[in-house]
Amino acid sequence: MACGSLCSQTLFSRFPVSVSASFSSSSSPRRAVTGRISAARLPVVPLNPNDPFLSKLASVAASHPEALAISRKDSDTLPYVDLLCSPKLMATSDQLERSTFYRERRPRTPPPDLPSLLLSGRIVYLGMPMVPAVTELVVAQLLYLQWMDPMEPIYIYINSTGTTRDDGEPVAMEAQGLAIYDVLMQTKSDIYTLCLGVAAGQACLLLAAGQKGKRFMMPSSYAIIQQPRIPSYGMMQASDIAIRAKEVLTNRDTLVQLLAKHTGNPTDAIHHIMRRVRHMNAKQAIEFGVIDKILQHDPPPKTLKEIRPRKEWIRIDTRFTQGL
């Protein structure tokens, strides 16, 4: 318990948050007391500095802060996701540093406070495996957003391998993912889920647990359905091995029942699929019932369509040459 408190204090000190009542336009009476806690440190999920979504969001906030204040076009446009499809905003680092003049550079602004930015958009970003510290802070954020305004939706952006690492080695118990799932089922807010990279194991369950019609996935993302696993602890007695094996089977049955509930597939079919690791792209995830829609990229800008074809430029150049 002391270790968990120490981890929380360390994470809080690394990610300071300052939240004010101006983050949302809702008129909930609970916002009257937000001024009392504006100076307090709110629970924030640990953020991976190498995460591609967060790095792009930071570059947009540093170069075009006015773009973050633009309201969403419709219910299918999740907060800040439309910025990723903008060729103007998603420029390279060289393009951000250079102005319109040749080789002229401008001073770069400091990076924004990403935890506060995500929390102000009611976004819970799960970009790491579900170790106990991550689970604790995700649950705290969900409870905080539910307390702030239960009528506003909550957006969960997922890029997580669940309770395992990339190589499949377990890093946490399956109860960590089920704890987040139970809190989601108790919230009154509409839950939007979006897969930005990978949703494996328990993270795939959270992706499917969103409200029907509001579960999304980016075109290049994928979901993974796999059986629960437990880490190896070296030499163990036969009785202890039997207890842990029974626990794994119980967690597997629980995961199968929950996936059947949210995907609409029979439990026998999910049991059969779970015998081996199942990778699903965006289209396969829709067919299986994990998500409802794919967030397609925007079409090319209109300015590119208006560029004259090569043959027309040749005719213009010929006329100009003859005129000389």
Residue 248 and residue 229 in contact, taking contact as beta carbons nearer than 8 Å:
yes
The pLDDT of residue 103: 45
Long-range CB pairs of 69-73 (<8 Å, 24+ gap) are: none
The pLDDT of residue 179: 92
* Calpha distance 86→298 (Å, rounded): 8
Residue 68 and residue 82 in contact, taking contact as beta carbons nearer than 8 Å:
no
The pLDDT of residue 121: 86
The pLDDT of residue 77: 67
User: Rounded to 5 degrees, what angle do the CA atoms 113, 150, 264 make?
Assistant: 100
Q: Kindly state the tokens that stand for 19.
A: 């939240």
Query: What architecture does CATH give domain 42-294?
Result: Alpha-Beta Complex (3.90)
The pLDDT of residue 319: 61
The pLDDT of residue 155: 94
Buried-exposed string 55-80: b where 16+ CB fall within 10 A, e elsewhere:
ebbbbbbebeeeebeeeeeeeeebbb
The pLDDT of residue 209: 95
CB-count exposure of residue 176 (10 Å: 0-12, 13-18, 19+): buried
Q: Report which of 116, 99, 107 is spatially closest to residue 41, judged by C-alpha positions.
A: 116
Helix, strand, coil shares, percent, the chain, to 5:
45, 10, 40
pTM, entire model = 0.66
Half-sphere exposure of 158 (CA within 13 A, CB side): 34
Residue 193 and residue 270 in contact, taking contact as beta carbons nearer than 8 Å:
no
Walk along the chain (324 residues) and give the pLDDT tens digit of each residue: 444 444 444 443 433 333 333 344 444 545 555 544 444 455 555 666 667 777 777 777 777 666 666 545 565 667 766 666 555 554 444 444 444 444 444 445 555 677 778 888 899 999 989 988 999 999 999 999 999 999 999 999 999 998 888 777 778 888 889 999 999 999 999 999 999 999 999 999 999 999 999 999 999 999 999 988 776 666 778 888 888 888 888 989 999 999 999 999 999 999 999 888 999 999 999 999 999 999 876 655 555 455 556 666 666 556 655 655
Q: 36: Cβ–Cβ under 8 A, 6 or more apart, which residues?
A: none
End-to-end CA distance of the chain: 85
Residue 67 and residue 89 in contact, taking contact as beta carbons nearer than 8 Å:
yes
User: What is the phi/psi pair of residue 291, to 5°?
Assistant: -130, 175
* Calpha distance 146→138 (Å, rounded): 12
In the chain, where the domains are located: 42-294
User: What is the phi/psi pair of residue 270, to 5°?
Assistant: -70, -40
Q: Which amino acid is at 303?
A: T
Strands (E) located in 123-229: 123-126, 154-160, 191-200, 215-217, 222-225
Query: Using H for helix, E for strand and C for coil, what is the string for 35-94?
Result: HHHCCCCCCCCCCCCCCHHHHHHHHHHHHCHHHHHCCCCCCCCCCCCHHHHCCCCCCCHH
The pLDDT of residue 235: 72
Residue 259 and residue 208 in contact, taking contact as beta carbons nearer than 8 Å:
yes
Pairing of the two strands 222-225 and 278-281: antiparallel
Q: 85: Cβ–Cβ under 8 A, 6 or more apart, which residues?
A: 297, 298
